[in-house]
Amino acid sequence: MQTKGRKDYAIGIDIGGTNTVFGMVDHRGDIRYRGAISTRKHDDITEYIEELHEALLPAIEHIGGVQNVRGIGVGAPNGNYYNGTIEYAPNLRWTGIIPLADIMQKKFGLPTALTNDANAAAVGEMMYGVAKGIKDFIMITLGTGVGSGIVANGQLIYGHDGFAGELGHTIIIPGGRFHPGTGAHGSLEAYASATGVVRTAIEFLDKNSAQESLLRAFPKEEIDSRIVFECAMKGDEIANEVYRYTGEILGMSLANFVMFSSPEAIILFGGLTKAGDLLLKPTKASMEKNLLPIFQNKVRLVFSELKEADAAILGASALVWELKKD
């Protein structure tokens, strides 16, 4: 079907709840063309793919035509690598099971691989980021929610059904904080996400109602994780305590993950990592405290160094290099 070409480029697409970002990536991991469309505009998946196709045409033109493209890699919430489907993603408008890889393969005439967004980020780190050359690591994304991608023996762990690595939903405080999205009590995501940080801040403000805090200058419903961070940086005691508490719970979970797959490194990624040492120090301390001695002082706990949008695009594009050659 395709004319012969160098096939030195891969398209990386990251489908987020709000925006879809994409890039044309070369073999060295340089993004040669970037673009974005809205994810929310179309109820009909066919119309969405149509718009995405149009938006990608200039990117394909830019590198000399489709014969130079090896394939397409997609990272998406609830993306299933085995089936190339998006399954029951709560934050997308398309309900049920969407055979996205198939649809795209037909539309673009290019082999297409799909995985969940945190797995894509892990692949990105392995090929172009701080995990280069590391065969055993765990990627944790700390954003609105908590996602994860697990690499062992140099391979992503997909599990028998493609859904491995939902570490944000593991229970760390049995009977603990309710998670409205899942109905679970005490899952990691209820504490170590941006949403969790805000809930902790409000809980602490209520519990210590006599204590002064810069956070009290804001109406409760307006407090977000950025405000908590800024107040903490200004020395606010309650805001600092929020990070200490978040780190303590996150670190305990990380210790559990280490005793599962014994990774060389854990890579933290996403909005919450902007807090830097405020989050990293208590997390590290709590992780070490909860590890068996044979695991202590061995695991590198580091932040991703890739730009957020880039990591997603790079990770998705990296899937392409693992596709079978045609």
> Residue 74 CB, nearest distance to its own copies (Å)?
19
**301 belongs to the binding site for its own copies (CB under 8 A):** no
Are 265 and 131 within 8 A, CB to CB? yes
Name the residue nearer to its own copies (CB basis): 174 or 180: 174
> Residue 224 CB, nearest distance to its own copies (Å)?
26
**Residue span binding its own copies (CB under 8 A) among the ranges 31-39, 132-140, 229-237, 268-276:** 132-140
Name the residue nearer to its own copies (CB basis): 1 or 292: 292
Cα gap 193→100, rounded to integer Å:
28
**153 belongs to the binding site for its own copies (CB under 8 A):** yes
The one among 155, 178, 208, 212 contacting its own copies by CB under 8 A: 155
**140 belongs to the binding site for its own copies (CB under 8 A):** no
**Residue span binding its own copies (CB under 8 A) among the ranges 40-48, 168-176, 199-207, 313-321:** 168-176
> Residue 304 CB, nearest distance to its own copies (Å)?
19
Return the sign of the alpha-carbon dihedral for residues 53, 54, 56, 61.
positive
Q: At what angle do helices 277-290 and 237-261 cross, to 10 degrees?
A: 40
Return the sign of the alpha-carbon dihedral for residues 309, 310, 311, 315.
positive
**Residue span binding its own copies (CB under 8 A) among the ranges 17-25, 102-110, 117-125, 131-139:** 131-139
Name the residue nearer to its own copies (CB basis): 87 or 241: 87
**Residue span binding its own copies (CB under 8 A) among the ranges 18-26, 148-156, 190-198, 216-224:** 148-156
Determine the 3-state secondary structure of 178 from DSSP: strand
Element (H, E) at 108: helix 100-108
Cα gap 263→272, rounded to integer Å:
22
Pairing outcome for strands 265-269 and 155-156: unpaired
**162 belongs to the binding site for its own copies (CB under 8 A):** yes
Q: Which token pair is 38?
A: 């809205």
In 3D, which of 153, 79, 1, 38 has the Cα closest to residue 315?
A: 79
Name the residue nearer to its own copies (CB basis): 184 or 214: 184
Cα gap 142→134, rounded to integer Å:
21
Element (H, E) at 226: helix 225-233
Are 57 and 69 within 8 A, CB to CB? no
Using CB under 8 A as the criterion, what x/- string covers residues 172-211 for binding its own copies? xxx-------x-x---------------------------
Name the residue nearer to its own copies (CB basis): 23 or 129: 129
Using CB under 8 A as the criterion, what x/- string covers residues 254-293 for binding its own copies? -xxx-xxxxxx-------------------------x-x-
Name the residue nearer to its own copies (CB basis): 57 or 259: 259
Q: Write phi, then psi, for 21 (nearest 5 degrees).
A: -110, 150
**Residue span binding its own copies (CB under 8 A) among the ranges 21-29, 117-125, 211-219, 251-259:** 251-259
Cα gap 309→315, rounded to integer Å:
10
Q: Which token pair is 128?
A: 């172009």
Interface with its own copies (CB under 8 A)? 78, 87-88, 134-136, 150, 152-153, 155, 157-167, 169-174, 182, 184, 252, 255-257, 259-264, 290, 292, 294-295, 298
